[in-house]
Chain A
């Protein structure tokens, strides 16, 4: 664990915490973007170029914009009077802690189960591309079809609403 890792980890955690704690919803969305950027930088720190750039392209370029649009179009950018914290925050905290514990346990155990790698594997973008259209072409196609179906479904839902209001 290097010095850079700790800086990036602090940035990501601060962004994620701010995303839950801040009062203004748009500020929360922007803080979430900071967390996304921190994750992308962590990927890059691990020499995972493809994952890092895809994270920036998809999450900062598209998902953050989508979140922000959703907030503005649903009139949710004003802070409610009784604060942003849900009344069931204790249960939420318990569930979050449980999920984190399970994930942490799984990660810590997998380190022993896997064969110990001495050298850092060098994965180029070309290899990822070859794997995606070679060995993993079926999952890729299924994901593509699923996303297309979801998009067409979203369009149909929106169209239906428009007809009803007429």
Chain B
């Protein structure tokens, strides 16, 4: 009995901690205080995770590129984020004379606020969700959509051609990839029959033969997950879709004219958006906080959520170290001619899956449709490119 009590306590540790903190206050304040405590936890946790991830990323990239990476501050460069933080706080805050001061100031603030709002509906563990909203997914995407305007505000108010070009690229890219992002998430809603993220996790928190019912382990779910991963990479402006910040072309894109703490805010927003969108991907396709095997369900649920989240971050870093940047026309063609049609087809496949009932037949039919579509579209796309042996003009 004591072991089960221990598991439950470990699983619900943060929930109990919150109740304990709140219990010191008078009764009428408690609901408000509970929200404030949870929000404070979220606002504290993710910047810390951001600081750790910057070291992790620089170390990981260095390893991929066969060099050492940060190694001067603290043992193995672990304290590098502290140095970076102090540097960005003490740096002079430069606003260009021609800049639109009010909009220039508001842009990073609004961006960070909108990015943090998404965490309100993400279930980070059993009973660990700030607002259990009926329309949670809709709320998440509404908040995600409002980040685009702050990116534009930053680029436009700087009165710099690189900033404006970067902002236009960023907004065009984010709008283009928002369509496949939404469409790939909609399949999950179709199967679960709910927009509530807690219900989506609950639907995946089941096991047959000790294996989980995660949506990624179904044909439509796997396809949707791959499409979702592509769209999120583009949506967060990460390599290979980092055209808005392409250093060789645009200096730093929409935040070229930002320095000091405002620049740090943009940097923070980019990483927090990465955490948040990875968290949503985890919730939608990787079973949220549920354990990967039935016999491992004694491990606290929040450990699973954050492990899956950090795995996604690792994949982001890995992609950044491996793939070259796309060209603008390739980016748009890829979104509208390949990802979007596959997303639409996947909607039909998900509907088929829903109405074909249990049995092996739906596995065969759904997988066959998706594989055929992928191979066929790939072949057609490759043919129009007329790829052949590489010819060198100058370096024979």
Contact = CB atoms under 8 A, between A and B. Distances in A.
Nearest to B189: A129
A60 B178 CA distance: 14
Contact of B145 (A49, A56, A72): A56
A56 B142 contact: yes
Chain A contact surface mostly: helix
Interface string B164-186: 10001001000100100000000
Given A68-B152, A125-B195, A126-B194, A56 B146 contact: yes
Nearest to A55: B142
Contacts of B144: 61
A125 B175 contact: no
A88 B318 CA distance: 61
B156 A125 contact: no
A33 B152 CA distance: 13
Given A53-B135, A53-B142, A125-B135, A60 B149 contact: yes
B141 interface: yes
Given A50-B135, A124-B134, A65 B152 contact: yes
Interface string A71-83: 0100000000000
| Chain A interface size, under 10 / 10 to 19 / 20 to 34 / 35 or more | 20 to 34
A60 B142 CA distance: 8
B171 A125 contact: no
A69 B143 CA distance: 20
A57 B149 CA distance: 12
A61 B150 CA distance: 11
A9 interface: no
A61 B145 contact: yes
A68 B164 CA distance: 12
Contacts of B153: 30
Nearest to A64: B149
A107 B171 CA distance: 39
Contacts, number: 62
Interface in A21-36: 26-27, 30, 33
Scoring A30, A33, A62 by chain B CB atoms within 10 A of each residue's CB, the highest score goes to A30
A72 B169 CA distance: 13
B187 to A, nearest CB: 15
Contact of B138 (A54, A64, A65): A54
A58 to B, nearest CB: 8
Interface in A85-129: 124-126
Given A60-B145, A65-B175, A125 B152 contact: no
Contacts of B195: 125
A69 B148 CA distance: 12
A64 B150 CA distance: 11
A124 B145 CA distance: 22
B319 interface: no
A60 B145 CA distance: 7
A151 to B, nearest CB: 12
A62 B175 CA distance: 8
B107 to A, nearest CB: 10
Given A49-B133, A53-B135, A60 B175 contact: no
Given A68-B152, A124-B134, A62 B194 contact: no
B142 A57 contact: yes
Interface in B148-164: 148-149, 152-153, 156, 164
A65 B173 CA distance: 12
B37 interface: no
Scoring B135, B144, B175 by chain A CB atoms within 10 A of each residue's CB, the highest score goes to B135
A57 to B, nearest CB: 4
B138 A62 contact: no
Nearest to B157: A26
B229 to A, nearest CB: 21
B138 A60 contact: no
B139 interface: yes
A70 to B, nearest CB: 13
B348 to A, nearest CB: 16
Interface of A: 26-27, 30, 33, 49-50, 53-54, 56-57, 60-62, 64-65, 68-69, 72, 124-126
Given A65-B152, A69-B168, A125-B195, 13 more contacts: A30-B153, A50-B138, A53-B139, A54-B138, A56-B145, A57-B142, A57-B145, A61-B145, A61-B148, A64-B149, A68-B152, A72-B156, A125-B138
24 contacts: A26-B156, A30-B153, A49-B134, A50-B135, A50-B138, A54-B138, A54-B142, A56-B145, A56-B146, A57-B141, A57-B142, A57-B145, A60-B145, A60-B146, A60-B149, A61-B146, A61-B178, A65-B152, A65-B171, A69-B168, A72-B168, A125-B135, A125-B138, A126-B134
**Which 8 pairs between the two chains have the least Cβ-Cβ distance?**
A61-B145, A56-B142, A53-B138, A53-B142, A125-B135, A57-B142, A49-B135, A60-B146
